[in-house]
Chains A and B, each alone.
Chain A
Amino acid sequence: MNRKQAATFLGKAYLWVLLLMLYSPILIIMVFSFTEAKVLGNWTGFSTKLYASLFSGDMHRSLTNAIWNSLVIALGAATVSTGLGSLAAIGLFNMRPRARQTVRFINTIPILNPDIITGVSLFLLFVSLGISQGYTTVVLAHITFCTPYVVLSVLPRLRQMNPNLYEAALDLGATPFQALRKVIIPEIRPGVISGFILAFTLSVDDFAVTVFTIGNEGIETLSTYIYADARKGGLTPELRPLSTIIFATVLLLLIIVNIRSARTGKKRQDG
């Protein structure tokens, strides 16, 4: 019995050491975002000056611009991917097995491809078509790697759905569009929503594909901005509060999502 307790203790200790290792970089950034020192590691007393200069200093304009670009691109890409991917999932579900397998296989290529390959291949597509690169090409590129995830998150919902419902709606006089809106969409909604969230986060997070498709007209997303900035000279002090804010936001979102899914899970068990 004692040996078992020791094993449990050791196991837990291992988890905590690993977590400490994983989080120490982020923790250090967070702690030192509350001091003014330019060099990380110097503690010159508590201050929120870096937060203030993040929202008003020289960086303010270009950084806000980059964040705004990231959000607009992600919103655009996620919206189109969600529409395209949900329709595709419904189509796929009703295809003949062989055609379905082929499309599903091609659908996994962007997931399995490393970012750099997706980036280079799309770059070559745009140059050989003579399309100048900018907003449009970035959004198209993001749609390319986001849609497969939407398809994969909607498909399971369709499998759970009663296949006769759609036919019943048609028999009762609904047009295909009405049947889609009133029967299919409500059934697959959770999959569509999580597909959208996934697409949005993937897009905001992307760096490699963006670099290859954003062109050189000076458009920056948050990722390319951080990259350009880091190349100039390590971690700019203002990026500390920014990372802290991003980390806190992600943490908060994840907690909300998990509480929600835990609740619906319980509801389903109860009902």
Chain B
Amino acid sequence: MNRGQTLFTKRANWAVPYVVFLAIFVLIPIILIVIYAFADADDKFTLANFRKFMLHPEAVNTFVYSVGIAITTTLACILLGYPAAYILSRNSFAASRATVLLFILPMWINILIRTLATVALFDFLNVPLGEGALVFGMVYNFLPFMIYPIYNTLRKMDYSLVEAARDLGANPASVFARVVLPLSMPGVASGIMMVFMPTISTFAIAELLTMNNIKLFGTTIQENINNGMWNYGAALSLIMLLLIGVTGLISSDSGNGKEGGIL
């Protein structure tokens, strides 16, 4: 009785079910990706999956192309989203809470519906579905994820620093470049994570936006898993995981990662 009670009373133990759950559904599955990636169909150790990737120009090209599309989309989102976040965060523009809400509202609508709506718009305007449509569609889809974290950090920024810089004689351009921009970097960093990661890993979205003409890396992974090529699919997933790990490290270096906050 006593033992049972301390086991239960000790509140630290209340996390035990979740810790077990995390081990089974988060840690083991990731280890499984690694194991499958380095195994052949008979569960023997091999590097063949990675060799196959390297020797397969189509797979490598898709990979490089996807990285290119993801970088383009992310840059476009920064260029379009930063000014918007800045304007929204300044009181002088008197942007209401409702306007801010309008910018984050699309985040709550199913991504497939958003994508199909974009396809419908391009159809309506007679825009050909291709690379341009792909990047535009991705920007449509992910722009709110760039605006929101930047807006959040700019909102929390200590505005007296800007006033101080002004009082000390800095012109508007250098106030922005040397005070506002550096202070908003954490938001930009988490915006990059929130835009780059989904763009590099989407599947389905690219197919829908280009009528199956352009394939991104995510689609390659999905196709291989669907066709029973689990080991090769796992190897491709591991490659993507590494790329994302590197991006994460770089962007958390330039500003402290999560601070901007996910909604």
| Total CB contacts across the A-B interface at under 8 A | 231
List which B200-217 residues lie within 8 A (CB) of chain A: 200-204, 207-208
Bound CA span A89–B33, Å: 28
B117 near A87: Cβ-Cβ < 8 Å: no
* A92-B15, A246-B113 given; A125·B29 CB < 8 A: yes
- B112 closest partner in A (C-beta): A226
Q: Specify which chain B residues have a CB less than 8 angstroms from the CB of A72 in the assembled complex.
A: none
User: Which listed residue (B17, B124, B225) contacts A84, Cβ 8 A?
Assistant: B17
Which of B44-52, B89-97, B158-166, B173-181 interfaces with chain A? B89-97
Is A227 in the interface zone, CB < 8 Å from B?
A: yes
Shortest distance from the beta carbon of A170 to any chain B beta carbon, whole Å:
8
Q: Specify which chain A residues have a CB less than 8 angstroms from the CB of B201 in the assembled complex.
A: 114-117, 208
Is B248 in the interface zone, CB < 8 Å from A?
A: yes
B14 near A251: Cβ-Cβ < 8 Å: no
The interface residues of chain A, by DSSP majority, are classed as helix
Is B157 in the interface zone, CB < 8 Å from A?
A: no
Bound CA span A204–B27, Å: 24
A87 near B109: Cβ-Cβ < 8 Å: no
User: Which listed residue (A29, A87, A128, A226) contacts B18, Cβ 8 A?
Assistant: A87
B92 near A223: Cβ-Cβ < 8 Å: no
Bound CA span A26–B241, Å: 33
Shortest distance from the beta carbon of A75 to any chain B beta carbon, whole Å:
17
Q: Specify which chain B residues have a CB less than 8 angstroms from the CB of A96 in the assembled complex.
A: 12
Is B16 in the interface zone, CB < 8 Å from A?
A: yes
B111 near A205: Cβ-Cβ < 8 Å: yes
* A15-B87, A24-B121 given; A120·B221 CB < 8 A: yes
Is B9 in the interface zone, CB < 8 Å from A?
A: yes
For A77-88 the 0/1 string (1 means CB < 8 A from B) is 000000011011
Q: Specify which chain B residues have a CB less than 8 angstroms from the CB of A112 in the assembled complex.
A: 193, 197, 244, 248
B105 near A147: Cβ-Cβ < 8 Å: no
A239 near B116: Cβ-Cβ < 8 Å: yes
A88 near B17: Cβ-Cβ < 8 Å: yes
The interface residues of chain B, by DSSP majority, are classed as helix
Is B123 in the interface zone, CB < 8 Å from A?
A: yes
A234 near B119: Cβ-Cβ < 8 Å: yes
Shortest distance from the beta carbon of B83 to any chain A beta carbon, whole Å:
6
Bound CA span A226–B262, Å: 27
Q: Specify which chain B residues have a CB less than 8 angstroms from the CB of A144 in the assembled complex.
A: 21, 25-26
Enumerate 16 A-B pairs (CB-CB under 8 Å) in ascending A order.
Answer: A15-B88, A21-B140, A28-B120, A32-B120, A93-B11, A106-B22, A115-B201, A118-B29, A120-B225, A120-B234, A128-B32, A143-B21, A144-B21, A207-B111, A247-B109, A254-B101
Interface residues of A (CB under 8 A from B): 4, 8, 11-12, 14-15, 18-19, 21-26, 28-29, 32, 40-41, 84-85, 87-96, 99, 103, 106-118, 120-125, 127-128, 140-141, 143-144, 147, 151, 166, 170, 176-177, 201, 204-205, 207-208, 211-212, 222-223, 226-227, 230-231, 234-235, 239, 243, 246-247, 250-251, 254, 258, 262
Interface residues of B (CB under 8 A from A): 5, 8-19, 21-22, 24-30, 32-33, 36, 80, 83-84, 87-88, 90, 92-93, 95, 97, 99, 101-103, 105-106, 108-114, 116-121, 123-124, 140, 143-144, 193, 197-198, 200-204, 207-208, 218, 221-222, 225, 230, 233-234, 237, 240-241, 244, 248, 258, 262
Sample of 18 further A-B pairs with CB below 8 A, known A28-B120, A243-B113:
A12-B95, A15-B93, A19-B103, A22-B140, A24-B121, A25-B120, A41-B123, A84-B18, A88-B18, A91-B14, A96-B12, A112-B193, A112-B244, A114-B198, A116-B240, A143-B21, A211-B222, A234-B119
